[in-house]
Amino acid sequence: SKACIPYLKKSKIAHILNLSPPLNLNPLWFKQHCAYTIAKYGMSMCVLGMAEEFKGEIAVNALWPKTAIHTAAMDMLGGSGIESQCRKVDIIADAAYSIFKRPKTFTGNFVIDENILKDEGVENFDIYAVKPGHPLIPDFFLDEQPDTITKKMESRGPPPELREEKSQPPPKPRSGAVEETFRIVKDSLSDDVVKATQAIYQFELSGEDGGTWFLDLKSQGGNVGYGEPSDRADVVMSMSTEDFVKMFSGKLKPTMAFMSGKLKIKGNMALAIKLEKLMSQMNAKL
């Protein structure tokens, strides 16, 4: 912006648009990713300051998506199938265009893509969905809490096309549910799975039937069990036993669990994503 400002001042309709969120000081948005939050909020504070500094000369606004947008970053963080819970990048492009059409007096605003397009008269947002009708992941920093969205999504159950395969919902976790989950996981292991994964996972589970468990996908044939693995774990995941069973049975997406603070991950994130892909293969058995 420093390099462009002299030229922008000569324009009759100059705009600076930051892709940054509304400033929301709820501690929820700091506890899992403080450095990322500081970086994004720094951009948002630039909007506040620069909008005032260049008032009447340059419009300075922020744009942020209401839902997750399908990008390479989402594929990396969310793994296979995450795109069905996202919108296309088209919604950001259309929202940005709506901002750029406005006069310089439209400045200092924190715009949510869906809201400004509603103002433009858009009513059908399915056109922006990668998979129309599928529940969407909310983006970070917005007022509606991820935990609330998680409960809404779980209450809806699986999308219609999956209900035939899972006509009855899995039973609620009970004593021994974690052990039974690991038994099924063990029966699903193979040399091919081990070769494709090459990682050791450690689970720190709280609640009934909790404790420390491991999934070794480095040794021949793979192994699971109670206690710490014989070799150092590549990924350590901490969560409740109830959420663990939900996650492995497909009722709780790891991405959503992580966003809402139900799942904490230490170690190699790329290997954590590999585990999500493995879980999706086991859902039918679990």
| Residues known to be catalytic | 36
Q: Which residues of 156-186 are buried (b: 16+ CB within 10 A; e: fewer)?
A: eebeeeeeeeeeeeeeebeeebbeebbeebe
Q: Which residues of 272-283 are buried (b: 16+ CB within 10 A; e: fewer)?
A: bbbbbebbeebb
Tell me phi and psi for residue 161, to 5 degrees. Answer: -70, -15
DSSP string, 37-61: HHHHHHHHHHHHHHHHHTTTT-EEE
Would you tell me how many other CB atoms lie within 10 Å of the CB of residue 60? 26
DSSP-derived pairing of the beta strands 235-240 and 199-206: parallel
Q: Token pair of 130, please?
A: 């990668």
Indicate the residue type of 132: P
